[in-house]
Structure 1
Amino acid sequence: MSRSAGFFITATDTDAGKTLIGCALLHAAAQRGLTTAAGKPVASGSAMTRAGLRNADALALQAQCRPPLPYEAINPVALAPPIAPHIAAREAGVALDVERLAAPMRALLARRAGLTLIEGAGGWRVPLNARECLSSLAIALALPVILVVGVRLGAINHARLTLEAIRRDGLPVAGWVANLIDPDMARGEDNLAALDDGLSVQGGAPCLGVVPPLATATARAAADQLDLDALLGGASNPAID
């Protein structure tokens, strides 16, 4: 039986680069001949098309799925306003809860692709409703977590707090990625060293790569900066394996 691995991708903040890194990991896996699947359970900031609401991040993930998957399997809840999902859902009259999102994501994981990624929205504690957060979905799915750090001023604090929260919630951190989203950041190397010390040395989470500012931010270009072996070598998920 071929091995399957699944992960939940979160980030230190919105616009940290979750989708770019997710697409890059899927691209790298497909280049090795692995099947791939991805989920974006809830996405705000979607545009109306002839096929219905479509989200750019979900479409990017869909493009990296091998074999292809229908859009609805990837993004079961698409919301129009580019605002926090729980607010967008309330305005649209949509009830968001963990079980509603978990069922289609479990169906994705049941496909047993070589690599399955479930991408959150924003950071770890983005609310779904008054009681549940997207972190509650990751817990329900029992997935190891990949943390994408958008490297800019404030990232060290955000990254360490997020790592602490994930661990407190009882989930393993499979690794973290430094995505250099501010090319003009002062003392960049010093900040990367502090991140590595806090997340890898003290936090025990391996660094899966450092993605520099890219002239063209494509999955292929970002994949060249990532270590897929460091991720898959330690992958273990009883719900999938």
Structure 2
Amino acid sequence: MTCVFVTGTDTDAGKTMAAAALLYRLAESAVKTLAMKPVAAGAVATANGLRNSDALQLELAMNARNVTYAEVNPICLAAPIAPHIAAEQAGIKLSVAELLRHQQRLAQHPHDLLLIEGAGGWLVPLNEVETLADYAVAARVKVVMVVGLKLGCINHALLTAAAIQQSGAELVGWIGNQPQALAMPHQHENLAYLQARLPAPCLGVLPFEPSADSAKLASYLLESQALMSLFAGN
């Protein structure tokens, strides 16, 4: 089955909006999707336990059913801080091996594509020696990078793409996301520069969405069949 890992150029690049938009777009051609937020830091207490808003958005956007929240977001941490610090505060030890076990359990549900959203940027630590990048490489995923269209995006995008390639992971595409109401100065020129220099195709450019409704943004992405062709390597 196809597995895609969504990372970002920084914490507020818009990974969840883009990831959910991808799930809605893929569903248009009846692709059966699963989503996973392996580690989420920043949650609210509910009657059913801690819940992270990003994970809930992914859970809503995927179309596989009979999947529990704990399978979508197996490690949910209360503090909105770096995951390895939040885990330490909660008395939890994060590791690549543990995340792989959670992924394998989720992947037992029938699906065509599993979309995994990271936390923060590419090199977010899991512990003293391992990062989310190590997990993505171990899971042999295709990587989609979300670029927050704001001042500094060119440097952030090129550095992140270089780090992804250096790790040995495959960057299959990137998505531009406008996280603020007003477009950044010279946004068109910035996008043109990135399109000419990033080593993977642009999958779409998402405008600012004030209602945070990812379903409305799906049409700004490549068509579902084109996305699956890229993700599956066809």
Equivalent position of 2:7 in the other structure: 10
Match of 2:33 among 36, 41, 50: 36
Moved more, 70-79 or 178-187: 178-187
Does residue 47 of structure 1 match 2:47? Answer: no
For the residue of structure 2 that corresponds to 1:122, the secondary structure is: strand
Separation in 1, partners of 2:113, 2:18: 14
Match of 2:206 among 190, 208, 211: 211
* Aligned alpha-carbon RMSD (Å): 1.5
Separation in 2, partners of 1:95, 1:215: 37
Match of 1:87 among 85, 88, 111: 85
Instruction: Check conservation: 1:37, 1:65, Cα contact below 8 A.
Output: yes
Separation in 2, partners of 1:184, 1:207: 18
Separation in 1, partners of 2:209, 2:43: 25
Separation in 2, partners of 1:9, 1:215: 22
Separation in 1, partners of 2:71, 2:54: 14
Match of 1:225 among 215, 220, 226: 220
Equivalent position of 1:187 in the other structure: 186
Q: Deviations over 1:73-115 (max 9, x none)?
A: 0111000011110110111111111111111112223435122
Amino acid aligned to 1:17:
G
Equivalent position of 1:140 in the other structure: 138
Does residue 157 of structure 1 match 2:152? Answer: no
Match of 1:170 among 163, 168, 171: 168
Equivalent position of 2:56 in the other structure: 59
Equivalent position of 2:68 in the other structure: 70
Instruction: Check conservation: 1:40, 1:75, Cα contact below 8 A.
Output: yes
Moved more, 28-37 or 172-181: 28-37
Equivalent position of 2:122 in the other structure: 124
Instruction: Check conservation: 2:64, 2:111, Cα contact below 8 A.
Output: no
In structure 2, runs of 5+ residues without a counterpart are none
Separation in 2, partners of 1:28, 1:80: 31
Deviation at 1:21, TM superposition (A): 0.9
For the residue of structure 1 that corresponds to 2:173, the secondary structure is: strand
Instruction: Check conservation: 2:122, 2:132, Cα contact below 8 A.
Output: yes
Amino acid aligned to 1:32:
S
Deviation at 1:152, TM superposition (A): 0.4
Deviation at 1:130, TM superposition (A): 0.7
* Matched length: 231
Q: TM-score, normalised by structure 1?
A: 0.91
Instruction: Check conservation: 1:175, 1:206, Cα contact below 8 A.
Output: yes
Amino acid aligned to 2:231:
A
Separation in 2, partners of 1:136, 1:110: 22
Amino acid aligned to 1:190:
E
**Identity over aligned pairs, percent:** 44
Separation in 1, partners of 2:232, 2:26: 16
Deviation at 1:174, TM superposition (A): 1.2
Instruction: Check conservation: 1:45, 1:80, Cα contact below 8 A.
Output: yes
Amino acid aligned to 1:116:
L
